[in-house]
Homo-oligomer: A and B are copies of this chain.
Amino acid sequence: MSPRGRVHLLPAPPPFIRTTREDELMFETDRPANRDCLISLPPDLFAMLEELGSSTGEPVAGIVEQALRSYLRNGSKPDNSVYLSAPVNAMMKGFYRQNTAIRDLHRHGDFGLGTFNDLDGEMVMLDGRVYQLRADGKADEVDGAVRTPFACVTFFSADTVEEIEGDFDTAGFNTLLHRMIPSENMLYAVRIDGLFRHVNVWSVTRQENYRPVDETGENFPSFVYENIEGTMAGFYTPKFIKSLNLAGFHLHFMTADRRRGGHVHECRLERIRIALQHVPRLTLNLPMTLDYLTALLPR
């Protein structure tokens, strides 16, 4: 939010108002029931309001009122929803190019994972920043114009946080995660920060379009990190939604310095903090590309 917005709420609406403060304001009104506010808006927002007003023929006053009502009705918090930019089955069938730009994802979350067009690396979104974890294991922040065939994001807000200390291997870690979720029929976002004895990750390599994942016959490059601080970001998805999102727990890892990472394959914990968000809603976007619309998808 811009700190520039300024609102002067005028508590009493008599026919004339004169303030003696920095801003002096005087006007008459024939609607004593209404109350007035003077809002200072950034120019881009101002221009958008005027444009919408002139394109729809709707009075700007009405647009502002409707916007405020809509916002107050739906709550000021973002919707607690897991957003999928596309059903995962299209990507699994080899549709590696969609027209979803990273900047479109920011409207739906500040946390998540996915991949990039042409399967060019694993994606992690943490605290609103999007990283590309390339096949060489290195990570870079990407800009908003980069595109993704599949991403899964949410606005992260933990419902429960657990501090875990001890030598858990991959199986123990999975048991731990499964114990933390009260129902297998709900969606969860999971963020894990801490110290790992061992993390084995892999990253996809750029692929030819239309070549399904299970036909690439490729061993994706993998990397092992020992005694490393980092963050895992991901989701739990119920099995009956598996055509839309990878089922079970799906986690991507990034080192604490945000320089390296990949898809979590194995790990051994030392001291971590598991933050879990229960998400009672899924929003699925269907891409409008010709590739997607004409795909023969598994049923």
Taking Cβ atoms with an 8 Å cutoff, the residues of A that contact B are: 1-7, 9, 22-29, 31, 33-43, 45-46, 48-50, 52, 56, 58-74, 76, 81, 87, 89-90, 107, 182-183, 185-187, 238-244, 247, 280-288, 292-295, 297-299
How many identical subunits does the complex contain? Answer: 2
Top 3 nearest A-B pairs by Cβ distance? A67-B71, A5-B61, A183-B293
CB pair A183 B34 closer than 8 Å: no
Within the complex, the shortest CB–CB distance from A150 to chain B, in Å, comes to 14
Does A36 lie within 8 Å of B39, measured CB to CB?
yes
Q: In the docked arrangement, what's the CA distance between A294 and B238, Å? A: 12
Which of B1, B3, B66, B281 lies in contact with A283, CB distance below 8 A? B281
CA distance A294 to B184 in the complex (A): 8
Q: Which residues of B contact A294 (CB under 8 A)?
A: 183
Residues in B with CB closer than 8 Å to A293 are 182-183, 185-186
CB A123 to nearest CB in B, in angstroms, measures: 21
Evaluate contact between B285 and A284: CB separation under 8 angstroms. Answer: no
Question: Looking across the interface, which residue of chain B has its beta carbon closest to that of A72?
Answer: B48
Interface contact A38-B34, CB-CB below 8 Å:
no
A49-B68, A76-B66 known; A4 and B34 CB under 8 Å? Answer: yes
A36 touches B31 (CB 8 A): no
Please determine whether B240 and A89 come into contact, CB atoms closer than 8 angstroms.
Answer: yes
Q: Which of A33, A59, A64 has the most CB of B within 10 A?
A: A64
A69 CB to nearest chain B CB (Å):
6
